Structure 1
Amino acid sequence: MAQLAETYACVPSTERGRGILISGDSKSNSILYCNGRSVIIRYLDRPLEVKVYGEHAYQATVARYSPNGEWIASADVSGTVRIWGAYNDFVLKKEFKVLTGRIDDLQWSADGQRIVASGDGKGKSLVRAFMWDSGTNVGEFDGHSKRILSCAFKPTRPFRIVTCGEDFLVNFYEGPPFKFKLSHRDHSNFVNCVRFSPDGNKFITVSSDKRGILYDAKTGDKVGELSSEDGHTGSIYAVSWSPDGKQIVTVSADKTAKIWEISEDGSNGKVIKTLTSPGSGGIDDMLVGCLWQNDFIVTVSLGGTISLFSASNPDNDPLLLSGHMKNIASLAVIGSSPRLILSSSYDGLIVKWIQGVGYSGRLDRKVNGQIKCFTAVDEEIVSSGFDNKVWRSSFLHGDQLGDAESIDVGNQPKDLSLALLSPELALVCTDSGVSLLRGTNVVSTIDLGFSVSACVITPDGSEAIVGGQDGKLHMYSIEGDSLTEVAVLEKHRGAITVIRYSPDVSMFASGDSNREAIVWDRASHEVKLKNMLYHTARINCLGWSPDNKMVATGSLDTCVIIYDIEKPASSRITVKGAHLGGVYGVSFIDEQNVVSSGEDACIRVWRLS
């Protein structure tokens, strides 16, 4: 069987020009954020401990713990709120259709009985407050004309609800049942976030006009403002109170987070510390989310990097947690001790992980662009995008990639393979044929006369196998710069999606779009392991164990299946639901550990027993 040993989590989904509202639970010291259809639970003191909830049918937008920490309410772009157990296998308690459009924020009442949600919708339905167990409405929310970006529930009685949004308004409601009391138009741009102080005496709003305004929580009257001295120079996207309610943290498009001292009466706020996250200072370093939890100050950048500052020692360098935001299309395991895992996502990001440690840095590519094919050896990374070019970058185990050189192969690469014993030799396949590369030169381009879908080259560069859309495997011997066809193998009933030689090159395995994998003997061309038909959708990726005894396949059906070559295919190990949306990368780290990646932008290590 296979047990989940480690998860390297995706980062929060972000959007330029918008804040994200992350939340947490101070008792378990965990935080919640959303990426795609997943809600991610991460523990600040145990970064490798990650849980993922993937039951939303649409992209999830925000999630919050109930006050007792037992339940989580999460919302999505369809206007649906799901309430589920934080511990007991995420059992679903209730599901409600709350708004007609996207939900941007939701909050629980302090007694855990009511939930308010705000966002986008038709007509007046931009906010709803309802009982958590029955979905019954508990108020009427008039007064907004545009998308409501944030809402907040006063944590003490008498209950109040405040909302703010793209119409520059801050609206105050009394209840329950809640009804409109008053409205403020003190801001001159989008009001991005509103939060009550923990004692329920005041609340603060922050806006794209670079200002923060303080209000009395009982009456809703304005009482003060954050000082403009040493203030933010860009839009303020989010705000969070310290547990004692005496300070706040704000994050801004100016790439800084600021800690403010708030006066007792709420009449003013002064900056006492400016936090800057390490980064290149580019657009991705704009800060869009924050949370003050226990002694952690958490900030999130537009690029998804989570910085964990110590509130008691804010001068210390933050712990950085990062990763992918989009589908991880490929993996490479290199080095022996420690084992390095390199992953690439199609948005062009390459991330470095260390087994047992987790995130170890992003590799800074000199070229920006999407990555379609990706492979790596100890000293070099080779990738191709959608620009018909193959890029070679030297990799010296730092965070910088060396100079990148590119070769234009004339057509969009579909697959690429390196001759591992002399990696300057590479085979690249395009729609109609293959190109042989030596270093940064195309030495030959051959039209094969059929639609090509996958390829692989032996470590010594003497043989290549090319797979076609017709399901046939064409074997070629390579002499000099020319290919000579030596055999055509027919067994697959779908387009070939992946081909890999075993490490000792005595066998090779192939997978197809009709969900079947086959292991072949290289010398005799006989089928070595057949009936590998246990996936329910296209096979995307395939990997061999270092001892040549096992093959792992990953599929669009979200599963990873591990076969033992010496045993019948029916005695396989299946990991169900390995990655929400499909598995796109799989590789053996060693004989006991398999690493996989997928559509959910996460990486998981499975321990075989």
Structure 2
Amino acid sequence: MAANLLETYACVPSTERGRGILISGDPKTNAIVYCNGRSVIIRYLDRPLEAVVYGEHAYQATVARFSPNGEWIASADVSGTVRIWGRHNEHVLKNEFRVLSGRIDDLQWSPDCQRIVVSGDGKGKSFVRAFMWDSGSNVGEFDGHSKRVLSCAFKPSRPFRIVTCGEDYLVNFYEGPPFKFKLSQREHSNFANCIRFSPDGSKFISVSSDKKGILYDGKTGEKIGELSSEDSHKGSVYAVSWSPDGKAVLTVSADKTAKVWEIGESGNGKVKKTLNSSASGIEGMLVGCLWQNDHLVTVSLGGIISMYSASDLEKAPVSFSGHMKSVAGLAVFSEGGQKVILSSSYDGVIVRWIQGIGYAGRLERKDNSQIKCFAVVEGQLTTFGFDNKVKRIRLLGDQCGDEEQIDIGTQPKDLNVAHNSPELALLSTDSGVVMLHGSKVLSTLNLGFAVTASAISPDGSEVIVGGQDGKLHIYSVNGNTLTEKSVLEKHRGAISVIRFSPDASMFASGDLNREAVVWDHTTREVKLKNMLYHTARINCLAWSPDSTMVATGSLDTSVIIYDVNKPASHRITVKGAHLGGVYGLAFNDDHTIVSSGEDACIRLWRLVQQ
């Protein structure tokens, strides 16, 4: 058997309050590219279930751009490194250069694909650098800035020019190559956040935290106009993008609006349409934008990507989102003939996905406290968070119904719900376990050893608790008390995860020493051994609905699927499933498995006979 990638539910761009983000596109293929953590994500605006993740940066990636011919991508990170790699052919690395001593904030290709300019933070006055893409040799000197340079742009027609803007409020104009400082414009009274040339190179525009947009002549760098103050933005303007014909621009702002401006021949701009963010509160601030073909793309601080039609601005936008942080919690269930996946990330965001469709909305909870673990059984969501509270929430489609919460008073380790008796839940903490019935605490037991994982049998009659010492302690449940029945010793590291098979005939355990074990529930004997194929700790495991397969996910980025009726050597290995490690696993059916991880992405894999 083999595991084939079926669908990818991509993460959204990393955002940061008070800073714009840069997304770029390839108009020929309707692709966009952006960064999240160490990942560079390629997505297609018309194919939401397709995504490509490039994860070769050693540090957090900040910006990525397609080359003008669409064949190459240049991506940069916080260490000042630029990697140039192939979009196809397994992302072959063309070159890697350390070009600045600090974070790179923007990057642009020359129209002939021969040169790249970057801007950002550096030592002394080294905030901008332009170089040949094949050799890394400098193609100019960039004086004139005294602080971090937030944005740069390459004139898309000859004679070549480069413009930059930054935290010193300046807009600088350079002639070349080799490029030399020509002039500075001091039109802004706050951070100049983004600068872009029109497609024909005749004009360029800068936008700023002073809420203004200034237009300049593309050949001389002289100011020719500005965006009208009538109906202008009421907050910092973070990004700007030109229409393909160069007659309009799209701007986004902290005031939660995007505006389409018509640019007249004189160089002044008037608002044509104001588009409001679909999110409320701080998360509704708009921090990134892109005008690509007929698509107007905006990105909010909360990671919601909205697509408007440039030819029909009255049309409601198509919005999609995902996770921004590591995804550890996964739950799968059927609803109305559809397979629904719920996923929770470290920042407390719970996203609803539908197999074959993708993003289907976020669950709006009363509070977005961080979640350590969660479970869904019979339409009820149970969460255990870092606020020490267990919450039991009735799910009503994509809405949250009534909520009950209990303060456990200590930090969570694990959460399990008895599938055949969903009112019964087992919570594990550092020193013991807590038994719940509905929203009532049945018992709080200090077990006398450091607890690291736990599981409850489907009928709620038995509990297994794993310890720091690598032992599995098996207890029978009698009312609100636990009676120890046996202790199993096989693991050589702290237990990280325990799960019963759906038919309760077996249970599986994994440890920090990279080993997994499948046990016979009745005899307590090892049923499948030598499961030592990961190269780092096991973070999660899941059973297939028919109890014939068990899958493990590891810090080594791999997922391994075992058939419990065959030797462990008869396994399926998915290498590089998630950059940074696999933290969540769930079977959708007997032949489909869902995985999630540090890269904030979710993937569906189809198990097929070879």
TM-score normalised to the size of structure 2?
Answer: 0.98
For 2:136, the aligned partner's letter is G
| Cα offsets for 1:494-546 (capped at 9, x unmatched) | 11111111111111111111101111110111111000000011100000001
Do residues 78 (structure 1) and 82 (structure 2) align?
no
After TM superposition, list the pairs within 5 Å mapping 1:251-400 onto structure 2.
Answer: 251-266=252-267, 268-279=268-279, 281-335=280-334, 337-398=337-398, 400=399
* Residue range with higher mean Cα deviation, 573-582 or 315-324: 315-324
Q: How does 1:130-529 map to 2 (within 5 A)?
A: 130-266=131-267, 268-279=268-279, 281-335=280-334, 337-398=337-398, 400-529=399-528
d(CA) in 2 for partners of 1:505 and 1:422? 14
Per the TM alignment, residue 265 of structure 1 is displaced from its structure 2 partner at its CA by 3.0
Q: Secondary structure at the match of 2:523?
A: coil
- Tell me which moved more, 570-579 or 417-426: 417-426
What is the CA distance between 1:276 and its match in structure 2?
1.5
- Contact 1:140/1:178 (<8 A) preserved: yes
CA distance in 1 between partners of 2:223 and 2:274 (Å) = 26
**Residue 561 (structure 2) aligns with:** 562
SS at match of 2:569: helix
Q: Tell me how far 1:384 sits from its aligned partner.
A: 1.4
SS at match of 1:89: helix
How far, CA to CA, are the matches of 1:416 and 1:223 in structure 2? 63
Per-residue deviation, 1:369? 1.2
1:121 paired with 2:122, answer: yes
- Report the secondary structure of 2:91's partner residue: coil
Unaligned runs of 5+ in 2: none
User: Counterpart of 2:283 in 1: which secondary structure?
Assistant: helix
Aligned mates of 2:23, 2:415 — CA distance in 1: 40
Percentage identity across aligned positions? Answer: 75
Map Cα deviations across residues 212-240 of structure 1 (whole Å, 9 max, x no partner): 00000101000101001111111100000
Deviation of the 1:321 alpha carbon: 1.7
Q: Which residue of 2 aligns with 1:573?
A: 572
Question: Quick check: 2:495–2:511 contact (8 Å CA) kept in 1?
Answer: yes
CA distance, structure 2, for counterparts of residue 383 and residue 565 of structure 1: 30
Instruction: Kindly provide the amino acid, as one letter, of the partner of residue 371 in structure 1.
Output: I
**1:101 and 2:109 are equivalent in the alignment:** no
Give the deviation of 1:243 after TM superposition: 0.3
1:366–1:403 Cα contact (<8 Å) kept: no
Please state whether the residue corresponding to 1:39 is helix, strand or coil.
strand
Alpha-carbon distance in 2 for matches of 1:426, 1:46? 40
Q: CA deviation at 1:404?
A: 2.5
Deviation at 1:419, TM superposition (A): 1.3
Aligned to 2:91: 90
| 1:372 alignment partner, SS class | strand
The letter of the residue matching 2:223 is K
**C-alpha contact (below 8 Å) 2:207/2:240 kept by paired residues:** yes
Paired residues of 2:74 and 2:85 also in contact (CA < 8 A): yes
Q: Aligned partners of 1:66 and 1:411: how far apart in 2?
A: 52
2:327 & 2:113 partners in 1: Cα distance?
A: 38
Q: Which residue in 2 is equivalent to 1:39? A: 40
Cα deviation digits, residues 457-505 of structure 1 (max 9, x gap):
1122111111111111111110110100111111111111111111111
Distance 2:575 2:266 in 1: 56
Q: Give the TM-score of the pair, scaled to structure 1.
A: 0.99
Q: What is the CA deviation profile of residues 43-102 of structure 1, one whole-angstrom value per residue up to 9, with x for unaligned ones?
A: 111111111111000000001111111111000000000000111110000000000000
Structure 2 distance, partners of 1:138, 1:378, is 64
Alpha-carbon separation, structure 2, partners of 1:204 and 1:21: 16
Q: CA separation in 2, counterparts of 1:360 and 1:368?
A: 18
SS at match of 1:220: coil
Deviation at 1:315, TM superposition (A): 1.3
Q: Are the aligned partners of 2:277 and 2:285 in contact in 1 as well (CA < 8 Å)?
A: no
1:191 Cα offset (Å): 0.3
TM-superposition CA deviations, 1:191-225 (whole Å, max 9, x none): 00000000110000000000000000101000101
Q: Matches of 1:15 and 1:570 in 2, distance apart? A: 46
Tell me which amino acid in the other structure corresponds to 2:505: S
Superposition deviation, residue 394 in structure 1? 1.3
1:278-305 deviations in whole A, cap 9, x for unaligned?
Answer: 22x2111100000000111100000111
User: Matches of 1:270 and 1:531 in 2, distance apart?
Assistant: 70
Distance in 2 (CA, whole Å) between partners of 1:192 and 1:410 is 45
Contact 2:125 2:147 in 1 (8 A): no
Q: CA deviation at 1:178?
A: 0.6
Q: How far, CA to CA, are the matches of 1:340 and 1:130 in structure 2?
A: 48
Query: Per-residue deviation at 1:107?
Result: 0.4
- Per the TM alignment, residue 410 of structure 1 is displaced from its structure 2 partner at its CA by 2.4
Q: CA deviation at 1:255?
A: 0.6
Q: Answer whether contact 1:203 1:217 (CA < 8 A) is retained.
A: yes
- In structure 1, distance between residues paired with 2:366 and 2:38: 31
Instruction: Find the aligned partners of 2:457 and 2:115 in 1 and give their Cα distance.
Output: 63
Secondary structure, aligned partner of 1:485: strand
1:130-152 Cα shifts (integer Å, max 9, x gaps): 11111110110011011100000
SS, match of residue 258 in structure 1: strand
Partner SS for 1:144 = coil
* Counterpart residue number, 1:11: 12
Query: Could you say what secondary structure the match of 1:284 adopts?
Result: helix
